Structure 1
Amino acid sequence: MADSASRILAFAEHALSSPFPLRVRAWDGSEAGPSGAPALVVRRRRALRRLLYRPGELGLARAWVAGDLDVDGDLYTALDLLSGLFWDRDEPETPPTALRSLRRTASALRDPATYRLAREALALAGPGLPPVAPQEEVRRRAGIAHTKRRDKEAIAHHYDVGNDFYGLVLGPSLVYSCAVWPELPQGAGTLEEAQRAKLDLVCRKLGLREGQRLLDVGCGWGSMVLHAVEHYGVRATGVTLSVEQAALARKRVADAGLTDRIEIRVQDYRDVRDGPYDAISSIGMAEHVGSERYLEYAQDLYALLAPGGRLLNHQIGRRPLRAEEEYRIDEFIDRYVFPDGELAPIGVTVSRLEEAGFEVRDVEALREHYARTLRAWVANLEANWKQAVAATSPGRARVWRLYMAASAVSFERNRIGVNQVLAVRTPADGRSGLPPTRRSWLS
C-alpha cells in the first residue's frame, strides 16, 4: 500500500472522467498528482469507505467533518478547483435508492478497468461497515417542511451552537450577514466598519426617523435594532427563533441601557400580531422561509406595515435554472448547515413581494461584498481555531470553515448572489413617500 496516493488518484480520475486537479497525500505518506497544487490529505482509510458507500458531495462532506479529509495549501484554491468536479456537476434528479445504486454499480463493473479499480479501492478502504455519520449531521426529516415546529428545530441546529463560537467568527459586531465594504475585493476598511456601514445603509433605505416603530425579523444577536435605536431614535422589536441568540441580544440591550426602547422576543414571524410598524428589516432571514411559504411570508410582513411603511429584504439568491433543470437542495448545506434552507432567484423574490401587494422600489446587488465578508469570517475562525473548537466541537468548526470558504468561492464565481430589495406598502393615493432618487441613502 506504499503507493496509496497514486491508486486513489487513479480511481478518482476514472470515476470523474477528468484529471484530478489536486495532489493527493495518503495516510501512508505517499503523494501523487500535479506539483504545486494544494494537496487533498486523506488522513484515514475510513475516508474512502465514506466515499464508496456514499459517492459524491455527502460522502466528501462526512469525511471532511470527521477529520478524515483535509486540505494542505490554500483552501479557496482547492475548493475552486474541485467545484467544477463535484458541486457544479449534474446530479441525479432524485436521490439514489439502494436498488438504483446497485444496478448502476453492476452496470459500471462490467467494464474491466472499472472492475479492477473498484477492487483496488475496496482493498485500500479496508474492511468494515459504512462509517457512522458525524454527530453534527442532521438526518433527513420526514413530514412537511417549514411548519413552525420544524423551522424552530432547523434554526436551533444552525444558531444554537454557542454564542461564544459566533463571537469568535463574527467579531464584536455580531452581525451574521453580508457587510458593505468601501473597496473590493480588498482595500480599506475593517469588518467592524463594514458591518456598521451595512446596518446604517439599511436604516437609511428604510428612512428611519425618531419615534417610528421598527420590526427586525430574524434579529439575531440584536445588532440591527441596537444600531437603529442608538442612531435613529426609533423604538424596535426584534424576533428570532433562537433561544441563545435572544438571551445574548437581551443582555446587549440591557448593557446599552435600552430596555425601554427595544424588545427581543423568541417568536415566529407568523405569530407577530402587534402591528402596524413603520418599517421592517429582514436581513439574512428569508433564506429559511422556503419557496412554498414565501408568498405567505411576504403577505404577513405587508400586513404588519402601516400604509407608506417600508420593507428592506436582504437575501441570498441563486441563479435561475434552465427550462430542463430541476432545483436540487445542496446535501452538505442541508445536512450540516441550513436544514430546509432554500435559495430563490432575485426575480422570484421580487415577484412574490409584488404579489403580496408591495411596490418594489430598489434592488441592490452586493455579491462581491459577501465574498469579502466570508473571507473575513474564515480568517477569524482560523485565527481563533483552538477556542472555536473548545466552544463547539472539532466537527462543527470544520463544518463552518468549509461552508464559509466554499460560499466565498461561490459568490466570487457568480454562482450565487445577495440582494437588498427595498419595497413599500404604497397607500391607496399612490404616494409612496420615497425620495425621488437614491441620493438620500447613498450619502
Structure 2
Amino acid sequence: MQWKTIDFYALDAEDKLKEFRSQFHLPRNPDGTEKVYLTGNSLGLQPIKAKQYLLEELDDWANLGVDGHTHARRPWMHYHELFTAELAYLTGAEPNEVVAMNTLTANLHLLMASFYRPTKFRYKILCEAKAFPSDYYALDSHARFHGYTDAVLEIPADKHTGILKHETILEYIDKYADEATLLLMGGVNYYTGQVFDMEEITTFARERGYTVGWDLAHAVGNIPLKLHEWGVDFAAWCSYKYLNGGPGAVAGIFVHQRHHNRLLPRFEGWWGHCKDTRFQMPHNFQPIPTAEAWQLSNPPIFSLTPLLASLPMFRQAGWEALRNKSRKLTTLLARGIEEINDTHSSGIRILTPYSNEHSGCQVSVVFEGIGRQVFDRLTEAGIVTDWRHPDVIRMAPVPLYNSFSDIQKTLETIESAVIEQQK
C-alpha cells in the first residue's frame, strides 16, 4: 500500500456509513472548519438528537413534576428499560442479562461483591499488565477488604512489543488455577488497543474453575461481542467512549443468566427489589430474577437520556458494516504511519497489533523522542488525538463519524511533523 496514491475522497463517496457523520456534532476550529476527531476511545461525540431528548425531559419535569415518573412521554419509573434491547445487541446478551446503571468502577465493585469469593487456598485475582488504573485499584481494594495483600497477579506483556501474547495469558491462567479464583481483564487494553480473544480465554479459565469478568470500557461499541454465547460470568462498561453517551454517562453491566437465581451475596438497593412489591416498601429484599437485581437506586434520567440518541445507530448501521469500515480506517492509518517511518527512518513503532482479530478502532503509536512534538503539531492542525507519557499517541478512527479524508489529513500532518523534527 502506498497511502499517497489512495483516493481518500473516493473512499468517502463509496462509504456506506457516511450519512451517520451528519448525526453528530463535530468540534470546530476557530475558522469554523471541522476538526479531525480521533479520540472517541476517550470521549465520544455528541449525537445531534441528544439535545432534543434532554430538552424533552426538562420540559416534562417542568410541566409534570413528580408525575413525570408515570406520565412523562418516556415515564421515568422504567426509564432504564428503554436501553435493554440495544445493550443486549451491543454485548451479544439476552435482554435479561444487561442493565444500564451507575458508573463503570462502581459497577465493578458491586459485581465483585458477588463474584469475588476468595477462600483460604484460592484467593488470587488475575488481570493484564498495564490494566487501566481504576481496575487495578478496584481489584486490589477488594482483595484487601477480604484480608489479602498479595492477591492481584498481573499477566506480563512482552518486553519488546508491550503486547500480551495469547499463549502467555493461557499459561498464567493454567499456572495459577489452584491459587486464583477470579480472572478480570479489559476486553480491549486501553493503552495498546489490543483486543483479547475473550471467547477462548473465558472458556479456558472457566474450565479451570475461575469466575470470569471483563471490563468492556474500550470494547463495547468498538467490536462485536457475544457475552452470552461465550459464557462470560459478568462484565461492566462505561458509555461515554464509543457509545457516545456524554461525560459521566450511565454505564452498564452484564450478568449471565445462569447466575440470576443463585443465592449470591450482593450489596442491595431498592431498585433491585422485585418490581411487583417494590412500592409496598417491604423489609426483606426480594431480588429481581435478572441482571436488574444489581441495581441500587432509581435511574438518573438526564445522564441516561443522550444514549437514546446514540444506541439505536449501532443497530441501524449493523455490526458487519461497522467492523468493515473500522478495519479499513485503522489499517490505512497504521500502514500509512509505517510507510512514513520506512521513508524517513524516524523511530516510529505501532503498538497496536492491527490484524482483524487483535484490534478495534484504536491505533497506539510510539514516536520515540519526538512524541510530544508530533502531538503538538497534530493539535495545531486541528486533529484531536490523545497523548500518553512519555511518547505514545493514541488515535481512534470511529466508523460512525470519522471519514477516510480524516485519515489522509492525519497522515499528511504526521509526515510533515516528522520531517520538521529531522531538520
Question: Normalising to structure 1: TM-score of the pair?
Answer: 0.30
Higher relative CO (CA 8 A, sep ≥ 6), structure 1 or 2? 2
TM-score (norm 2): 0.31
Please identify the structure whose Cα radius of gyration is greater.
1
